[in-house]
Structure formats: structure tokens, C-alpha cells
Amino acid sequence: MDRTRATAVEFAGPGALTLRGLRFGEGDRWAVLVHGEGRDLDGWRSLAGALADRGFSVLAIDLPGHGASDDPWESELAVPAVVAAIDFVRSEGSQQIHLVGEGVGAIAALAAATDPTLQVASIVAFSPDPDERVAQLTEIREARAPKLILVGSLSPGALQSAEAVYRGAIGPCAVVKVPVEAQGTDLLAGEWGVQAREKVLEHLARHF
């Protein structure tokens, strides 16, 4: 499979907004990829391709007010946008859903996963950036699916935020500290990028 090939999709988001994204791969196991504030889905392309090669369908979305999705951006829209993405992949026949997010997108993924009816199989959080407008730390700790947190350990603020999420977690949770200043999807680039990607693939494979 050409892992760089993608199909443009759009679906109903929160309110009257239309969300847009790219679908990679074919399969009934899905990974939903959620970028951080001020970024877009392009940061996920290398991981999306690797997941597609492993038999996943992948949906990388643009959050409201980002990329190709409708405006405006409001932090409060992040969680309902993730829920809308989950609803979309369910409509596409998903039998299993994994959530992968960066920054506030990671917090939104964790918050969405607190709803047991959504049956999220696992969560990966790149440099989770707590934002009370998205969700409280006391809320996201209820996401009990197995979790993997990745963070660049040379940024004290990012490391502190990631450790706060880790300390509050209920259920299985592991942290990978990459010795770089980079955060979010930038952890997938550079000399440590391959290792970061493999950690994600191992996590998802463990929770098929």
C-alpha cells in the first residue's frame, strides 16, 4: 500500500460546523488523530502512513478553525469535535477506535474517552497541554483506557504538564520521555522520530 495516499473526508461537527480531514488505509480498526491548537493535520502524515501500513484505517482531522475545517476556533469545541470524529468512524464500520492527540488535542482525546459508551480502546497523548477550557484534569483522569504519553523532556513546562496528566491517570498509563525540546508531532521528526513512532505502534498493537 502507498502509505502517502489519502482520501479527503468531511462530516458534521459541533453546532453547524463542518469538519474536514484525511483518511488513510483500510481496515475496521481505526486511529483518530487530533492536532494541537494552532497546528493542523499535516503533522500526522508520517504516523498516519505507518499506521495504514499496519492495517489501520486512520482519520486525521482538522479541528474547528484550523486547516480546512470551518471557523471559528474555540477551545470548548475541541472535545465535541473529537466525539464527532468518533461518530464518523463508527458510521464507516469501525470495530475498534484508538485516539491519538497532541497538545490540547490530547486533552480533548482524553476527555472524550471518559465516556464509556464511546468504547475507546487506547489513547496516545503527545505533549498533553492541560487547558481548563477544554477539560479539567480531574475530568480527564476518568479516561480509563490504556494510555501512552510522549513528551520532549528538555522542555520543563511540557514535562511538568505531561507528568501532571500521568500522576492523575486512572488505569494503565506509561510515559516516554524523549531527550529533546521538541513537542507534539515534532517528536515524530528528527533523530528520535523513528523511536517515537515505534512506541506508538507498539502501544496500539498491544491493545488490539
Is the pLDDT at 90 greater than 70? The verdict is: yes
Beta strand 18-24 with 57-61 is antiparallel
Please report which confidence band the pLDDT of residue 4 belongs to, taking 50, 70 and 90 as the band edges.
Answer: low
Q: How far is CA 8 from CA 11, 24, 68, 69, 188, in A?
A: 11, 9, 10, 12, 23
User: pLDDT at position 73, please?
Assistant: 97
Name which residue leads in pLDDT, 5 or 102. Answer: 102
User: pLDDT at position 59, please?
Assistant: 98
Residues 93-122, mean pLDDT to the nearest whole number: 97
Q: How far is CA 193 from CA 34, 146, 171, 183, 198, in A?
A: 18, 22, 27, 11, 9
User: pLDDT at position 5, please?
Assistant: 83
- The tens digit of pLDDT for each residue in 141-158 reads 999 999 999 999 999 999
Q: Against a cut of 0.95, is the pTM above it?
A: yes
Is the pLDDT at 87 greater than 80? The verdict is: yes
Helix (H, G, I), strand (E, B) or coil at 96: strand
Is the pLDDT at 3 greater than 90? The verdict is: no
Is the pLDDT at 208 greater than 90? The verdict is: no
Structural element, H or E, at residue 82: helix 78-91
Helix (H, G, I), strand (E, B) or coil at 22: strand
DSSP-based helix, strand, coil % in the chain, nearest 5: 40, 25, 40
Is the pLDDT at 81 greater than 90? The verdict is: yes
User: pLDDT at position 1, please?
Assistant: 40
Domains of the chain and any CATH numbers: 7-206 (3.40.50.1820)
Q: What are phi and psi of 148, to 5 degrees?
A: -125, 125
Residues 179-189, mean pLDDT to the nearest whole number: 97
Helix axes 45-53, 193-206, angle to 10 degrees: 40
Please report which confidence band the pLDDT of residue 137 belongs to, taking 50, 70 and 90 as the band edges.
Answer: very high
User: pLDDT at position 117, please?
Assistant: 96
Beta strand 173-178 with 18-24 is unpaired
Residues 52-71, mean pLDDT to the nearest whole number: 97
> DSSP assignment, residue 192?
T
User: Hunting for cell 491548537 — which residue is that?
Assistant: 37
- Compute the distance between CA of residue 86 and CA of residue 2 in angstroms, rounded to an integer: 25
User: pLDDT at position 204, please?
Assistant: 97
Is the pLDDT at 188 greater than 90? The verdict is: yes
